[in-house]
Structures are given as C-alpha cells and as structure tokens.
Amino acid sequence: MTRHFQNEIERLKKKILHLAAMVEESLRDAVRSVADSDMGLAERVIQCDRLIDTLEVEVEEDCLKILALHQPVAADLRYVVAVLKINNDLERIADLAVNIAERTMTLAIHNGIASPFDLSSMLDATVKMVRMSVDALVGRDTAVAHQVCCDDDLIDDFHKTAYKTLMDQIKTDPERTEYYISLLSVSRNLERIADHATNIAEDVIYMIEGEIIRHQGNLGRP
C-alpha cells in the first residue's frame, strides 16, 4: 500500500465518520423537535440537510476516485465499497429526519394531545439503532452491528402497532385525522430509518468479515 493510498483512505475515513456524526445529530434534533414541538429545532434539521447532501457527494466522489486510481483489493476494496453504500444510507436517514421535522408544525398545533401509541419509546429506540450502527462503524464492532440487525424487528413491531392504532383512531375521531396522519408519517419514517441503520450494520459486517448477510434473515444474526 503506497503512502498516497493510505492518506486517501484515512481522509475517506474521517469524512464518512464526520457525515455519520452530522446525520446522527440531525436525527436527534428531528426527534426532539417532535417530542417538544420545537419549530426552531425542526428548521435547523431542514437547513442542515444541505450540508449533509454536499458531504455525501464528496464522499461518493472520493470513493470513485480511489477505485479508479488505486484499484484496491481484498479488505481495502471491501472498505471502499462498504463506505459507498453506507454513505447512501446515511444521506437517506438525513432525508427522513427532514420528513419528521416537517411534521412538527402539524403536530405542534395539537400540542397537549397524547399520542395513542408509544411514540416516545419508538423515537428513543430508533435513535439508539442509528447510534449503535454508527458506533459499529467507528469501532469496527461486528457484535454491535449484529445487535442492530436484531433490533430492527422491534421498530417493525412499533410501526405495525402504530398503524393499527392510528387507523382505529381515524375511524372513531375523524376530526383529528390530520393529526393522526402526521403521527403515522412519523412512525413510517422512523421504520424506514431503522431499515437504513440495519443496512449500515450489515455493511459494517461485510467490511470486517467479508460476509454478506443481507437477505439471510436470522441466519446472519446471533
């Protein structure tokens, strides 16, 4: 491995970790904006998305440059390929955080009305999944990555419960349909964020172990 290649890889590592930190913070702000009806936080999430998009493009360009100029093999090739995929999932998480933040205004109008499902626990569990997927990436920790894959089922269950509960609420309390639809949108976006966190965890496992566990179900999980 040449010194120039080493420097390129180190620069790529710093950029993807910086992007991961920005995305995690954006998600936390989006979740807090909903929980606290904080329009200022919601606006910050929306504004920050532009910076995240710019960095995501830079990371992709760096990956393609490394592949074209250095033609890495084995573990180095797996790393660059994994970063390319993780980069895309992080950008999508940021977009979904924006979707959640945009629902803050509608939900704030109904501030004081309790959510008919356990929104708080779902918010916390989703943020935890993203944090753990980033921790797995930073620490190259496959045990943490496997745990993220297992936790995805929990978020799926939350969303199924939310969907059924909110559909029932719309039938019995149609005057608050807009509120319930906004809650359903938040739940759906959280479920999709958990899917992307799982993708990141699976790519961390591929990066370290060279094993593709996607589509294996519980076979790839402890």
Q: Report the chain (222 residues): mean pLDDT per 10 consecutive residues.
A: 88 95 96 92 96 97 96 92 96 97 88 84 95 93 96 96 96 93 96 98 94 68 46
Contact 148, 125 (CB under 8 A): no
CA-based nearest residue to 168, from 159, 177, 157, 155? 177
H/E segment holding residue 163: helix 142-172
DSSP state of 112: T
Looking from the CA of 209 toward its CB, the CA atoms found within 13 Å total 15
Contact 102, 42 (CB under 8 A): yes
d(CA 63, CA 67): 6
Q: Tokens standing for 131?
A: 């944090």
User: What is the CA angle 214-215-220, rounded to 5?
Assistant: 65
Q: Tokens standing for 71?
A: 């033609």
Q: Exposed, middle or buried by CB within 10 Å (0-12, 13-18, 19+), for 172?
A: exposed
- Diameter of the chain measured on Cα atoms: 67
d(CA 104, CA 159): 19
CA-based nearest residue to 125, from 162, 179, 84? 162
70 alpha carbon, distance to own chain's centre: 30
Q: Would you state the pLDDT for residue 217?
A: 58
- Domains of the chain and CATH, by start: 3-220 (1.20.58.220)
d(CA 164, CA 92): 26
Q: Would you state the pLDDT for residue 114?
A: 81
d(CA 151, CA 137): 17
d(CA 11, CA 38): 36
